[in-house]
Each structure stands twice: as C-alpha cells, then as structure tokens.
Amino acid sequence: MKEKKYLVGIIAGGSFLVAAVTAQEQTPSHLQELLELGMHPGHAYVDEGRELFNTMKGPNGKTCASCHGEDGSKNLEGAYARMPRYYTDIGKVADLDLRILSCMTQYMGFDPKDKKFRKEFDKWSGKYRVPLATFVASLSNGMEINVQIDDPQEEEMYKKGEKLWFMRVGARDFSCGICHSVLAGKRIRLQGLPDPVKAKVYTHWPAYRFGNDRMWTMEDRVRSCFRAYFLFEKKWNEKSDWVKKPPPYSDWVIALELYMKHAANGGVIEVPGLLR
Amino acid sequence: MKKTVIYGASFTAFILIACQPTAQKAAVSEKKEEEKKIQVKKEKKKNLAERFKIALANQDKWQKACSNPDQIVPKGIDVETFRKEMMATVKFPEGGVIGKDIKRGEKLFGDPDKGGRSRRGNCYACHCGDPRILACGNIGPSLRGYAKRGIDPKDTYIRIYNSWAIVPCSVMPRLGYHGVLTPEEIADIVAYMHDPESPLNK
C-alpha cells in the first residue's frame, strides 16, 4: 500500500513537471486569454492596416488591393515569410517596410521626394507604414519562416549582417552579438536578453510592446538598438556628437534583419507579437 | 548751467560713439552664432547615412580584434600585450583615485531617487548593488559589500576607466577611455564604492 502511494506520488509529480515545462514553451496563459477575448492591442493595427490596404488610394487612384487582391488574397499570403529578399523591380534587397514604401512610390503614385509623405511614412505613429506592415505580416501567420539566400545581393547582404552582428563599436564597445548571442539568457536590469539567432524570436515580429504602448516593426527595433551603442562621429559627446540611429531602410538595418530572420528559418510566424 | 549741458552732451556723444562698434560687434557675433547653429543642424540632417558610416569606421583596432563570434581576444593576438596597451591609456585624476564627492559618485553609479537610473555610469544595468535598487542586471557580478573584499581602489578605478586593461573584450564599456565619464567622475564613483557608509557596503 505504502509503495503504491509513493508510485502515485512520483507519477503525479512527474506529470506536473512535464506540464510545467510544456506550459512554459507555449504562449503564457494571460496572453492566450487576451487573444481569445480579442483584446490583443496589436490587432487594432492589423484591422487598421487591412482597411488601409483595401481602401487607401494613391495619387494615381490605385490601392494595394488593386494589385494584391482584396485583403492580399491574390499573392501576399506567405510573402512575409520569405522577406527580406531581393526584388528585381526595385533592384534591391528589401525588408517589409522598404517593400511597402517602394510599392507606394512605384505603383500607387506617391512621390518619394514629397517630404510630407515621407515624414508621415517614416514616423512611428504614422498612418501608413506600421499598420500596413503589421497587416501584411499577419497574412503569413501559421507559416514557417523561409528566407533563402540565393541571389548574389542577398548573399552580400547576409555577410554584411553577420559581420555587423558581431562588430564591437561605439563609445560603449557593444555589438549585437555580445548581449544577444554570448550573454543571452542573462538580464539587463529586469529585462531578459533573448537570443534572436538561436531562439527564432523573429516569429513574433512585428510586435506590440506594452513598454511604450506601440507597435514596432523590426526596422524600428533594429534602429533603436543602435541608440545604446553611443556611436559618435569625432569624439563621444552626448549633447553634440551622438549618432543615434542608422537611416531607415538602409543596408545596415536590412542586413541585420536578413541575418536574424534567416537564422529563424523554420519558426512558425505568429504576429503581431505582444512583448514587454 | 550751460557748461554742464555741454559736458553732458559731449559725454553722451562720446558714449554713443564708443559703444557703437561693440554693439555692432555683438550683433555680428550673434548672427555668426546663429549661422553656426543652423549649419550644425543642417549637417546633422544632411546625411545620416554618411554620419553612420563614419561612426562605424571609428571602430578602433582593439574593438576590431574583439569583433568575432566568440567576442574574445582571437588567436594570434597576445592577451598580455592587449592588456598593456589598454593600461597605457588610463589617465589618473590629479586628486587621486578616491574622489571627494561621494553623492555625485552615487548619482553617476545609478541615482537611487530615479530607481537607480543613470545614462552616464548606468552600473545597475549589469550589476546589483544598493539593496534598495531591485531592478538590477546579472551580467556582471553583484557589487554588494564591495568595500569588504580588500580590493585596491586603484584597481577599481582602472576597471571603470578601461575594463579591457583587466579583461580584454569584456562587455563592460571602457567608460573613461571613450570619455563617457571623466577621470574625476570615475574617482567619485570609486569613492562611493569604497565608502564603508555607502549603501553598497551596509
């Protein structure tokens, strides 16, 4: 009898452990609840993006849906899973943000030199880029990331990204890699350091970050990371010589995105993410 | 009466004449300064790509050596030479490595009134210390009870000024080497860390 009790105890304890371990790997229960209740704040961006996608007309009268079908049904499902990639029509390796900008300027008639338009597009809280990117990314939900590197330009970009990932530079001697590869799992203050290369965290981007109540695309994420580097032109000076961010849609940003997303190949896309 | 008027008039005239050039000069220099400001703004805006490129090209030879997947001194580079070269960059303050302004040292370390925040030293990002500051990182070792470890304040100073003189390629920024902190500011942090009355050591 006693032995039986032990046995039951061991089995119960064991199954509890297994349950605990699997639960940790899945979406935390409170987030799952938010999703089920339809209260994920990122979904507002998806809805806004869908609305824009179908109805917003460019100066020449075209909408996104004119080429991609309503809700992107014609050719956009799974497109985000293969980005960044080389696009022949713009002759560049582009990420999601640059691809959307190029579509708007090349096919919808927006003037790339129109400062007002560019400002609105680049802005974090602007009405075009972030909602559209979130919506387009969500069309690849449930699919595996599948970034291929077969064009020579993609190859060059990948190498650039890998080099930049490990490059120690700036007045703080940082690199992406020292924190996010070598020291991954440790904590900066209370923030855990994820390993985007091994852990395939790219599956959750674009993500809504409740730390500042905003949707972030990977462009925003990578560019903001460089603020921590304390980059300078002549000699470090917080007030007069601080090169805070690389320019938007620049090769540096896209190269890092390509490097990280290629490493996340096989991960199942689940956007918008909900992060700190 | 007449005389005073004449004197007064000539005096005012003199002042007017004397002051005119300086007033003009002031106006000119103000204009110049404004122009300068506008130019600085223009330059900043002009080419973010160019500035970023220059910033990356500023990588020094030691940073370059550390830029590998392991983020340590690679084979072929002598670690001792690396350390010696780094040590040679350390500048000491005139008043010695233990500063006088412990309060300033605490603020630079991480201001307790702001939850331990400080953009300058920002020590709590990686180290724990003052037990009141709960939001502290675990990348570096905890600094609680630091003064009781028998460490020479000079070594503390060197570590903060140029951590690579002790551990080459460490993730700890070379705060003095890059001028993020001045030698005097580092000395104040050292004073805070070694003070027996400091919350670190209680």
Q: Which residue of A has its CA nearest to B67?
A: A167
Residue A249 structure tokens = 């849609």
Interchain contact, A188 vs B137, CB within 8 Å:
yes
List the domains of chain A with CATH numbers. Answer: 40-275 (1.10.760.10)
Q: Which residue of A has its CA nearest to B122?
A: A189
- Quote the CA–CA distance of B63 and B174 in Å, as a whole number: 11
In degrees to the nearest 10, what's the CA dihedral of B64, B67, B71, B74?
-60
Give yes or no for A175 touching B (CB within 8 A): yes
Q: What is the ipTM of this complex?
A: 0.85
Contact present, A196 and A256 (Cβ < 8 Å):
no
Residue among B134, B171, B180 minimizing CB distance to A236: B180
Interchain contact, A178 vs B125, CB within 8 Å:
no
DSSP string, B35-103: HHHHHHHHHHHHTHHHHHHHHHHT--HHHHHH-STT-SPPTTS-HHHHHHHHHTT----TT-SS-S-HH
pLDDT tens per residue, chain A (276 residues)? 445 555 444 444 444 444 443 333 456 666 677 777 778 889 999 999 999 999 999 999 999 999 999 999 999 999 999 999 999 999 999 999 999 999 999 999 999 999 999 999 999 888 899 999 999 999 999 999 999 999 999 999 999 999 999 999 999 999 999 999 999 999 998 888 889 888 888 999 999 998 888 999 999 999 999 999 999 999 999 999 999 999 999 999 999 999 999 999 999 999 999 887
Interchain contact, B52 vs A167, CB within 8 Å:
no
Model-level pTM?
0.83
Give yes or no for A161 touching B (CB within 8 A): no
* Distance to chain A for B30, nearest Cα, Å: 20
Interchain contact, A190 vs B55, CB within 8 Å:
no
